[in-house]
Amino acid sequence: MPSSPRFNYIITIHNKQDLIQEVLTCILMCCRDNSHVYPVLDGCTDQTESIIDDISATFSHVPITKVYAPDVHEIRSINAGLRAADQAGEGYNIILQDDVMLRDFMWESKVLKLYQWAGEKLGFVSFRLGANFIKDAATSESVEPFTEQVENAYGHGLRTASVLLPGQLTYRSIAIKSPVCIPFKLTQEIGLLDDRLAPYMCDDIEYSIRCLKAGYQNAVFGLRFQSDVDWGSTRTNPSPQLNELEKRNIRLIREWHHSTIADICTREQPTAVVEVPDTSSEFEKTHAIEVWEKNCQLLDEFIDRQSKVDILSRVKQSLKKSISSMRNEFAH
């Protein structure tokens, strides 16, 4: 009897000792007989590794293989996890960041039903967010040349996106992490993320384009997870390089894939939403709508707080410059 498809859970981690126990416990609750967990310790200096060791001893029925990276950030960390994990045969890589908790403990069976129902051309799938390209995406100077965004109801509550409920699938040109699924067939045929875009930003866009070029369809699928907007360090404490990295990487993607993007934009991009049989219930949908409404409010509050922090920061910088200028005048 052939073995069932394998599931690799690859989680990139940088100093998340406050969340990692619950994040990993949620993953392990999803695991079945053919699962393997790969926590990528990316330059961790806190107690994250010792917490993982304790969990590994407790959940000894599920193999946990630690992968080490020297603080190389997201793209190279994901690739380190993909290289460490067995990519032979049939299986699925579930990739998530260290602020994502999988809350649907039928995760593996639903992912299997999804790919079996959708067929062999279903490729890169996000469980969070997706979008299509704007018509002039290949030539536009826009840093975010996207339209028709769709977000899982368990996401952050983006006002600009339409809402996807549990058990619903919608195809989109771009799948945006995390969590996401990269089947083994993609790593075997298309390869890993392009680390020329390292340390982070837009790698999922570039990978989506390669999948489309190879004849696959990308999609968003509604499954339950939790990732509060306050948990992500990129959101709460963004790097000063963030905007420049995004601009650089979008420019590189346009250079590498200009003709493919142009071809995608000449065709009608998908927007239909369909139900995947036996992957959700009406109760789950009702609960998801309640969570989405709450998350919309929390996101609005977060944006308001961040705006106040930005204003205060600018005022402080202005005061520092004024004081420095006054001191220079007095010195002379």
- Say yes or no to pLDDT of 303 above 60: yes
Q: What local confidence, expressed as pLDDT, does residue 182 receive?
A: 98
Report pLDDT digits (tens) over 128-139. Answer: 999 999 999 999
Q: In DSSP terms, which residues pair with 150 in a beta bridge?
A: 130, 162
What are the domain boundaries of the chain? 98-331
DSSP character string of 89-120: SSEEEEEEETT-EE--TTHHHHHHHHHHHH-T
Distance CA 53, CA 64 (A): 9
Q: What local confidence, expressed as pLDDT, does residue 60 receive?
A: 86
- Say yes or no to pLDDT of 222 above 60: yes
pTM for this predicted structure = 0.90
Distance CA 273, CA 151 (A): 12
Overall average pLDDT of the 258-278 stretch: 97
Q: What local confidence, expressed as pLDDT, does residue 59 receive?
A: 87
- Average predicted confidence (pLDDT) for the chain: 91
Q: Which residue has the tokens 């009897």?
A: 1
Report pLDDT digits (tens) over 57-81. Answer: 998 889 999 999 999 999 999 999 9
In 14-167, which ranges are E strands? 35-42, 67-69, 91-97, 101-102, 122-126, 129-133, 146-152, 162-164
What single-letter amino acid sits at 331? Answer: A
DSSP character string of 214-274: TT-EEEEE---EE--TTT-HHHHS--TTHHHHHHHHHHHHHHHHHHHHHHHHHSPPP--EE
Q: What local confidence, expressed as pLDDT, does residue 6 receive?
A: 96
Q: What local confidence, expressed as pLDDT, does residue 44 receive?
A: 96
Q: Which residue has the tokens 């963030």?
A: 242
Q: Which residue has the tokens 């806190």?
A: 46
Report pLDDT digits (tens) over 237-255. Answer: 667 788 999 999 999 999 9
Report pLDDT digits (tens) over 142-160. Answer: 999 999 999 999 999 898 8
- Say yes or no to pLDDT of 331 above 80: no
- Say yes or no to pLDDT of 190 above 50: yes
Q: What local confidence, expressed as pLDDT, does residue 312 receive?
A: 46
Percent of the chain with pLDDT over 90: 81
- Confidence band of 304 (pLDDT split at 50, 70, 90): confident
Q: What local confidence, expressed as pLDDT, does residue 270 receive?
A: 95
- Say yes or no to pLDDT of 5 above 90: yes
